[in-house]
Amino acid sequence: MREIALHLLDIAENSIAAESQNVSVHVHEDLFHDRLTACVIDDGRGMDAETALHVQDPFYTTRTTRNVGLGIPLLKSAAEMAEGSFSLQSEPGQGAWVEADFRHSHIDRMPLGDLSSTFLTLLISHPQIDWTFLYRVTDKNKQSRDFIFESAELKSELGDISLTEPEVLTFVRRIFEEGIQEVALQTVAE
């Protein structure tokens, strides 16, 4: 995996497999504290403490096609390589909270990557989920800018029109691309 955004796509797929209704993906680039934090929070079926430990082991998976599951271990090692940490909090029936944290300026920190494509892919692939996407950038003066997207409003407005109608696609893609760029530009200006 070459981007944090790709990891988020992968981790969020776990939330879908856990039969979640609401899934939040949060990314915070905090230049004041020199951290980059990414988390996926869901209300799916969750897991017990033993399973939560197991999923961090590459030789564990719930899938039946083979005996390895690499998603979470890959993210964990990416975070640990960049003076960061990984945590997974969950209880059966209580959803899950997966968080990876990196030192923002660390030479080995993976680039954040194409967040708008990750958000678009998640929204299109799983229109039944109520998504919340939050991208926050805090500059060195502690000023924050947010991009927030909640899919419930979009869905109720669209009614029975599919997200994959070309006009709708253009509209949604622009929301993500322009919204994220607006927030991210502040990083470049640093």
Partner 1 sequence: MPAIKSLEELKRIREEALQKKQMKATPGNVQVIVAMGTCGIAAGARDTMKSVLNYIENEKISGVTVTQTGCIGRCEEEPIVQVMLGEQPKVVYGKVNVQAVEKIMKQHVQGGQPVKENIIQI
User: Rule CB under 8 A: which residues touch partner 1?
Assistant: 1, 6, 9-10, 13, 17, 63, 65-66, 69-71, 74, 114, 117-118, 120-121, 124-126, 153-154, 157-159, 161-162, 164-171, 173, 175, 178-179, 182
Whether 151 and 22 have beta carbons less than 8 Å apart is answered as no
Judged by CB, which is closer to partner 1: 31, or 176? 176
Q: Is the dihedral of CA 118, 124, 130, 132 positive or negative?
A: positive
Using alpha carbons, select from 41, 170, 53 the residue that is nearest to residue 94: 41
Closest contact distance (angstroms) between CB of 61 and partner 1 is: 9
Judged by CB, which is closer to partner 1: 27, or 31? 27
- Other Cβ atoms closer than 10 A to 132: 16
Judged by CB, which is closer to partner 1: 14, or 138? 14
Judged by CB, which is closer to partner 1: 94, or 125? 125
Count of CA atoms in the C-beta half-sphere (13 A) of 46:
12
